[in-house]
Amino acid sequence: MMTSSMIETIYSMSNLHIDSLDDMPMDAGTSGFLGTNSRMRPALIPDEMLSQGLDTIIGETGMSQTRYPVKVIDQTLIDPSSAQGIFYYDTREKERIIVAADNGLYSADSRIIPNWVDLGKTVAGETTFTQLDNNMYFVDGDKYSKWDGTAFTDITSFGNVAKSLPKFNDIITHDNRVLLSGIDDNNYDDDAIYATDILDGDFIDSTYSIRVGGGEGDPIVKILSWHESYVAVLKQRSIYVVNTSTAIGNLGDGPQDPQNWFQQKVSHTLGCVAKNTAVVVGNDVWFLSREGLTSLQRTRESVQRQLSAIILNTEVNDVFEDINWDYADTACAGFFNNRYYISLPIGVSRVPNVTLAYNMLTQKWDGKWTGTAWKPSYIHRSSFGSNRHLIMQDIEGNVYWQKEEGGIYESRDQLPSVVQTSGALEVGESYIIRDYQAGDDFTNVGADSNATGQYFVATGTTPTNYTNGSTLAKEVFEDIDINTISKAWDFGHPINFKAGFNCEIDFFRSHGTVDIVLIPDDDETRALTIGSNVDTSFNPKLPQQLPYTFSGRLDRRVIEEIREIEQFKELKVQIIGNGSEIKTRRIQITSFLNTFEVDNS
């Protein structure tokens, strides 16, 4: 009598079509996620990787979930036509978001009530800011200026001689000094860094500067304050590190001359192509070079350069290969909430139009993010009160912010209702009319019309009429349609055809609905939708009412039969959200393995 082990041995050896052994059930899937790998063929990536992660993040518990929403800060008082820079100014008395747009500077005194104020200061172009001794210093490619929170001062000449300052394009604070570089002036060296006195950004001695390099015609693109007294100097075609610890003390004290600062060349082949992508990320400096995303890393004993090829080339290199390098200098980046965001001009775009997010906790890319806010030209951080925020400015000058904790909300029509009385609206807050009642009128406070579903930013506190019971919800964020595609599972048998049986997906405390699509053999023309508007939340319904309240945000396992799909060799699962918060914890597919048929011809 033939045992089951003997049968399995015969099957594994011959792999021929045997009726009694045909249609063996096989399982494939993943119980968690790490990131996105869009470069490799979907069948070759690990189970826990997504082949597409559109508007998704990987949470700390390994779930694929809707990215954090952002909120627009009303810009109607500015009406800018171009973005030129953004900064967070913070003193004991004042907290301000400073925006450079349309050749002017504007100030917002709160993230909730913008109250944009035209500061009455003209800027010539892209503006870079820093802060020292409660003063904001900035350069615009023409002038070096200061704002003390009340008045502006243009610093036009050196402190020791009657000679005009160079035209700077970059500025930082380092070791209690202001350092200036990015010189675009034929009368000065474009590879020089100038330093102010300690805690005195107004005073620049004409002799206190250092040329980085040997005058090879390689201008400085960006400088960054790095570890201890190190300054990372990113030039067009090379990378240097300058140690300023050899010049401790006030400038003018003799031996503390910046020309004595020690400089070390890290690379003579790599340079920075976009100054706004240079960001300190943990212990490293990340920036965009012509070779891709580059990381300058420091060991305990020395400073050395390492290319982060593992991050770039093996996972999202397909995106970087499509950069419009003629306009790569418009790219920008930021580091916030354990993620490095980089926005790039892709394809024929001349401005950033695609943003990628790298998760430092998983050491993987979350994926590609879309939406109006995620095409920024400038990214910065703010810390209003005890809350940190990411603030962004797009090419048109509009400003957006994102909470540190994410602040994920349901779609607008699912926001918690807040019934308010007339006079309770907050200027600058976002509202949606959840349930409009005839007779109420919100047009005088920002609404374009009076109707259910109308979204508006409050321009006043008191509607014309708000006595008939209309329901408002505030703190409205964007709707986000998550779109993820799993790896392609071949069930360990890449050559055999399979017949589908079922697909199980676990959702965790999700809202709203999703569409579930199967993509066989990487062929989207054969895609099969197995679930439309599938409810990812679960609300149990009992035959009679009980005096208890059950949570409406329970886990939900969706099981769909997939027998209708034609036979395949490998299979991907696509989940498309419909504007709500979606968290996917597990995917499992069961299929039948078809053995090869014997050719009897």
Q: How far apart are CA 274 and CA 328, in angstroms?
A: 6
Given a contact cutoff of 8 angstroms between Cβ atoms, the answer to whether 279 and 336 are in contact is: no
Residue 160 maps to a domain: no
Laid out side by side, the sheet with 71-73 consists of 71-73, 399-403, 389-394, 376-382
Same domain, 458 and 489: no
The rounded distance, in Å, linking the Cα atoms of 202 and 144 is 9
The domain boundary, picked from 315, 340, 370, lies at: 370
Q: Are strands 513-520 and 483-486 parallel, antiparallel or unpaired?
A: unpaired
Within a domain: 222: no
Q: Are residues 561 and 512 in the same domain?
A: yes
Nearest alpha-carbon partner for 422 in 460, 450, 394: 460
Give residue for tokens 């053999």: 521
Task: Name 473's bridge partners.
Answer: 432
C-alpha 201/C-alpha 251 separation (Å) is 12
- Residue 433's domain comprises 416-475
**Whose structure tokens read 């518990």?**
61
Intervals of the chain under pLDDT 50 = 7, 9-21, 113, 248-249, 251-255, 305-311, 407-417, 552-553
Are 570 and 515 within one domain?
A: yes
Q: Are residues 282 and 324 in the same domain?
A: yes
Q: What angle do CA 540, 541, 545 make, to 5 degrees?
A: 120
Residues 468 and 422 in one domain: yes
Residue 320's H or E segment, with its range, is helix 317-320
Do residue 447 and residue 485 come from a single domain?
Answer: no
DSSP 566: P
Decide which of 340, 370, 400 is a domain's last residue.
Answer: 370
| CATH number for 58 | 2.60.120.260
Q: What is the largest CA-CA distance in the chain?
A: 106
Does one domain contain both 295 and 308?
Answer: yes
Is 380 domain-assigned? Answer: no
Alpha-carbon gap, residue 471 to 420, rounded angstroms: 7
204 part of a folded domain: no
Alpha carbon 599 to its chain centroid, in Å, reads 55
pLDDT tens figures, 187-201: 899 999 999 999 999
Number of domains making up the chain = 3
> Within this chain, do residues 464 and 484 fall inside the same structural domain, yes or no?
no
Phi first, then psi: give them for residue 518, nearest 5 degrees: -105, 135
Answer whether residue 471 is part of any domain: yes
Please spell the DSSP secondary structure of 191-206, one letter per residue. Answer: TEEEEEETTEEEEEEE
CB 497 within 8 A of CB 17: no
Would you say 64 and 58 are in contact if contact means Cβ atoms under 8 Å apart? yes
Edge-first strand order for the sheet with 95-101 is 83-90, 95-101, 104-108, 117-122
**Whether residues 454 and 489 fall in one domain:** no
- The predicted model scores a pTM of 0.82
233 within domain boundaries: no
Cα angle 312, 318, 321 (rounded to 5 degrees) comes to 85
How do residues 546-598 score in pLDDT, each as one tens digit? 666 555 446 889 999 999 999 999 999 999 998 778 999 999 999 998 876 65
Contact 179, 194 (CB under 8 A): yes
* CA-wise closest residue to 66 among 514, 584, 536, 581: 581
Alpha-carbon distance 382 to 391, whole Å? 7
C-alpha to C-alpha distance for 30 and 486, rounded to whole angstroms: 9
328 and 279 belong to one structural domain: yes
Task: Note whether 465 and 490 are same-domain residues.
Answer: no
Distance (Å, rounded) from C-alpha 75 to C-alpha 155?
30
Specify if 361 maps to a domain: yes
Residue 163's Cβ-side half-sphere holds a number of Cα atoms within 13 Å equal to 10
Among 435, 456, 475, the domain boundary falls at 475
Let me know if residue 568 belongs to a domain: yes
Q: Show the tokens assigned to 583.
A: 């968290």
pLDDT of residue 510: 84
